[in-house]
């Protein structure tokens, strides 16, 4: 399963018999899909997937979800396509630390899928933005288990 598109909802089998749910929210020509992970781990698949999709988001990441989960040994099943919640329809802004030769952060880049802006200090809201990175399957599974 490599052809996931915005709106697609997937079930990921994680720790033990637990299931997590993620929705593809955006595609970008130069990066892997943007994925929002729906908060919570479940023992069984919820009966109302529309209600599930409208649930709270645990985190957002850029990840080639199907191939990354396969490499990490997790099973992924596409459940269908659902409308992306209103609060996730705009392409998210990602943050990237820019470091000096000593490894100290000197400023931050913010990327909205089109262009870059920067700031020297992070605000509280900016510190909650997802990192601009292609997440590995192993890291993704770690965050799911939290």
In degrees, rounded to 5, the angle at the alpha carbon of residue 41 between the alpha carbons of residues 87 and 48 is 65
Question: Based on the domain organization, do 112 and 143 belong to the same domain?
Answer: no
Question: Based on the domain organization, do 3 and 58 belong to the same domain?
Answer: yes
- The answer on pLDDT for 1 being more than 70 is no
Question: Based on the domain organization, do 81 and 35 belong to the same domain?
Answer: yes
Question: Based on the domain organization, do 65 and 118 belong to the same domain?
Answer: no
Structural domain span for residue 111: 93-129
How does pLDDT run across 108-144, given as a tens digit for each residue? 999 999 999 999 999 999 999 999 999 999 999 999 9
pLDDT value for 131 = 95
Question: Based on the domain organization, do 61 and 103 belong to the same domain?
Answer: no
Cα separation, 24 vs 7, whole angstroms: 5
pLDDT value for 28 = 94
How does pLDDT run across 36-56, given as a tens digit for each residue? 999 999 999 999 999 999 999
Question: Based on the domain organization, do 116 and 76 belong to the same domain?
Answer: no
Please provide residue 30's backbone torsions phi and psi, each rounded to the nearest 5 degrees.
Answer: -110, -5
How does pLDDT run across 88-110, given as a tens digit for each residue? 999 999 999 999 999 999 999 99
CB-neighbour burial class of residue 65 (10 A; exposed 0-12, middle 13-18, buried 19+): buried
Number of domains in the chain: 2
Task: Tell which wins on pLDDT, 3 or 30.
Answer: 30
pLDDT band at residue 2 using 50, 70 and 90 as cut-offs: low
pLDDT band at residue 12 using 50, 70 and 90 as cut-offs: very high
Question: Based on the domain organization, do 99 and 82 belong to the same domain?
Answer: no
Average pLDDT over residues 57-79: 94
């Amino acid at each position: 399963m490599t052809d996931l598109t915005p709106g697609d909802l997937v079930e990921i089998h994680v720790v033990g018999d637990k299931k997590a749910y993620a929705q593809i929210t955006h595609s970008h020509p130069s990066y892997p899909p943007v994925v929002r992970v729906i908060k919570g781990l479940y023992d069984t698949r919820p009966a109302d997937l529309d209600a599930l999709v409208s649930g709270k988001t645990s985190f957002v990441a850029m990840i080639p979800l199907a191939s990354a989960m396969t490499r990490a040994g997790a099973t992924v099943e596409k459940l269908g396509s659902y409308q992306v919640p209103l609060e996730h329809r705009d392409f998210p802004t990602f943050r990237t630390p820019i470091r000096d030769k000593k490894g100290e952060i000197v400023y931050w880049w913010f990327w909205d899928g089109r262009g870059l802006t920067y700031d020297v200090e992070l605000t509280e809201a900016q510190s909650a933005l997802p990192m601009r990175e292609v997440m590995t399957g192993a890291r993704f599974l770690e965050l799911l288990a939290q």
